[in-house]
Amino acid sequence: MFIVPQPEPHNTAGNTDVPPAKREPRDLSGAIGGSGVPRLPREIPSGARIVVRTKAGTDPNTGRMTYRDFVGHVQQWNGTTLKMIRDAAANGSRPEQQVSIEADSIVRLKPVPERPGTAARRKASAKA
């Protein structure tokens, strides 16, 4: 699993002579990121089904941040760009499509299970 780790609480025990910004990350996930930036995994396995939430801007009426979600299968992740095949809409309104998402626009990502019956269809189409 490669769930984006949450920021650690400020630790006062040990390693206190180094400012917080200079300390080595303590999680073992291999996540990358800096202050104020979501920590993203170094590796995402190709073929993994994930949901990615990205920044879509600010709503002009409310001033609130808006987001766009992408659900699909990872093709490639190099730490700066995520290439994935976005799943088709369940109601058929949008076909499957290839998308490229820049890491600086990613707010959150997490694994999601396959849709029922989708894995069998994918295997059948891969053999054809």
Kindly report, residue by residue over 60-119, the tens digit of the pLDDT. Answer: 999 999 999 999 999 999 989 999 999 998 888 999 999 999 999 999 999 998 888 665
**Predicted TM-score (pTM) of this structure:** 0.63
Domain boundaries defined on the chain:
37-127
Is the per-residue pLDDT at 55 higher than 60?
A: yes
Tokens of 60: 């002009």
Cα-flanking dihedrals φ and ψ of residue 28, to 5°?
A: -100, 10
What CATH fold (topology level) applies to the domain 37-127?
SH3 type barrels. (2.30.30)
Tokens of 24: 């080595």
Alpha-carbon gap, residue 48 to 54, rounded angstroms: 18
Cα first-last separation, the chain: 30
